[in-house]
A and B are shown apart, each in its own frame.
Chain A
Amino acid sequence: MESEEAVAGPSLDVTAAQSPLLRVSFWLGAIVILGSMVLGLLYSAGRDRTLPSLQLAYYPGIEKLVEAGEYRQALDQLNVAIELDFLSRVRIHQEIAQIAMTNGQLDDHIAACRALIKAGAADEVTSLNLSGSLLMRSATGDHGRAEELSRELLQKYPNHPAVNCNLGAALLGQDQLVEAEQYFLRALELEPGLLPAQAGLAKVREVKATRE
């Protein structure tokens, strides 16, 4: 319904087409496309014991990969989705962050959290989780970023044990033992049984003792 130029023809007969090449490509295309649809239907029915879902989305497929424990494959697929599904990028990064954090894929988790921060779509939980992953990866330079994130969070949540603990760990990683000890102590004051804070505090005291 876009223009008004002339096209017309009286016949509907496919065999009337003059070029054999066109006839071959028509039948080949028809057989391959229709055959693929039937194959796809059978494959879906055989694999999931149901007809293909009406939901035009790839999320159910990703969920199945996660349920099957194929986290790496799920994350790789979501990384392809970032390139193709422009309109859902924030949601995809959130999905990656969730799957990666749950399954210990630190690099993917850090990349997804950073992308969310860059897109302005990160909340406090994202920052807290990112600082946690940066600490766990403990690569050079990550402790500084973890400290920065934790200090930002501490302004909003001064009485949150995990935030205090993360900041302590970030400082410990940068060899700022005195200040690190204060935050581990504060974390334990807020939550006496917090294991990472206990471990951090023990580490601080061990290093101090070695040096003395």
Chain B
Amino acid sequence: MNDQPPRSGFASSLLGKSFVHPLFDYLLIGGGLSLLVAGLVHWTVPLAAGGGGQNYSIHARFAWIPMVILLSNSTHFASSTVRLYSKPGTFQALPFLTMAFPLVCLLVTTLCMVYPVNLGTNLQRLYLIWSPYHYAAQAYGLAVMYSYRSGCPLGLNDKRLMRWISMLPFFLVCLGGEGFGLYALLPEAWLAQPTVHGAVMVLKQWLFPLLIFGSPVALFIKIWVTEQKPLPLISLLVLMVNGCWWVIFTDYLQAFTLATIFHGVQYLAIVLIFHVRDQKQRSTNRHGTLYHVLWFYGASLLLGYGLFHCLPWAYRLAGFGVVESMLLVAAAINIHHFIVDAYIWKLGKKDSNRTIVDSDQAPAFV
């Protein structure tokens, strides 16, 4: 897991500075792989349904999805917890988050379980609307990090602009579907009015897709012109890939499923890099990269299986229904992950994250 040596020239500036290898970084962290799969799913599923594109089930077509969800999705949710407890200094820096927050989450989940319709619904709504925000925030963080590593640190205004651009997919999802977003907040009858419905459709089908794909390119050009150096393409890719799921798949269930899987792949790749570097920087370290990768991934996989697949059974044992046990435990784990993530990735000047991001020389720009 060594950084690629700096290359000179314009091409290397465009390519940016990889953590592992350009192919690895672009496919897994940049989200290139998810673009390939998005194309595959988008074009093959309707064909499989006889070309009509109607009444097809992604779960019927992709029977392997539960295994992929375990290996990517569940594991990634658990990995933030593993990272929280294995990252140096977190018990001291984040005492409430590390020590009290799990119990608080458990109590809130149980309370929602007791009142599934009144409280549980709100937990579920929160999870559904926070997910695209979380993915957008991760896209922003990765885009800024690669930009910084690649010798193109962004000014405050460009950062703000990038933040807004990264949030566009989140705003698109906020327009909502049945039961969440605008549709959870505003009266159904008002939203069903032809003019309102028409306006929402124009936003969903035209304006947001245009902004989601057009504004990262505009920002790229702006930075190139004003700063005399380009953003690495991986920063551009990360922003656009995060948008593509919500634009390509108008069925929110498909969009959520696939976006979450590839968000998980992206997350696992980057968290493994940070974990391995943290561990290898320890003076007491005696193990190689493979050991740390296997240890971290194995622990996350085991915890992911325990949280998503075993914990709901404990609630069933306690007398709760299968529906609330499955759905509300998943929602609570998601929200716990979102909150933990907001803290463990901070790049404080003395934080080990900063050391890792700073550890490599930026490529020379010609």
Contacts and interface: CB of A to CB of B under 8 A. Distances in A.
A86 B124 CA distance: 9
Contact of B98 (A5, A26, A32, A43): A26
A87 B176 CA distance: 11
Contacts of A56: 66, 69, 74, 308-309, 326, 330
Given A77-B323, A81-B327, A86-B178, A54 B70 contact: yes
B92 A37 contact: no
Interface of B: 66-67, 69-70, 74, 88-96, 98-100, 102-103, 106, 116-117, 120-121, 124-125, 128, 137-138, 140-142, 145, 177-180, 252-253, 256, 270, 305-317, 321-328, 330, 341-343, 345-351
Given A2-B342, A22-B96, A61-B326, 8 more contacts: A3-B141, A25-B103, A32-B103, A36-B315, A40-B310, A40-B311, A41-B313, A54-B69
Interface of A: 1-14, 16-19, 21-23, 25-26, 28-30, 32-34, 36-41, 43-44, 51-58, 61-62, 65, 76-78, 80-81, 83-89, 119
A77 B116 contact: no
A28 B104 CA distance: 11
A21 B100 CA distance: 9
Given A2-B138, A2-B141, A80-B321, A37 B307 contact: yes
B323 A11 contact: no
Contacts of B89: 8-12
Contact of B323 (A2, A40, A52, A81): A81
Residue among B137, B140, B142, B317 with most chain A CB within 10 A = B317
B363 to A, nearest CB: 22
Given A40-B314, A41-B313, A58-B323, A12 B93 contact: no
Given A40-B311, A54-B309, A83-B117, A9 B128 contact: no
Contact of A7 (B94, B128, B317): B94
Given A5-B348, A56-B66, A28 B116 contact: no
B268 to A, nearest CB: 13
Contact of B314 (A2, A19, A43, A87): A43
A80 B116 contact: yes
Contacts of B347: 3-4
Contacts of A29: 99-100, 102-103, 106
B313 A87 contact: no
A52 B315 CA distance: 13
Contact of A19 (B95, B145, B252, B328): B95
B309 A25 contact: no
B252 A87 contact: yes
A44 to B, nearest CB: 4
Nearest to A57: B326
A78 B98 CA distance: 36
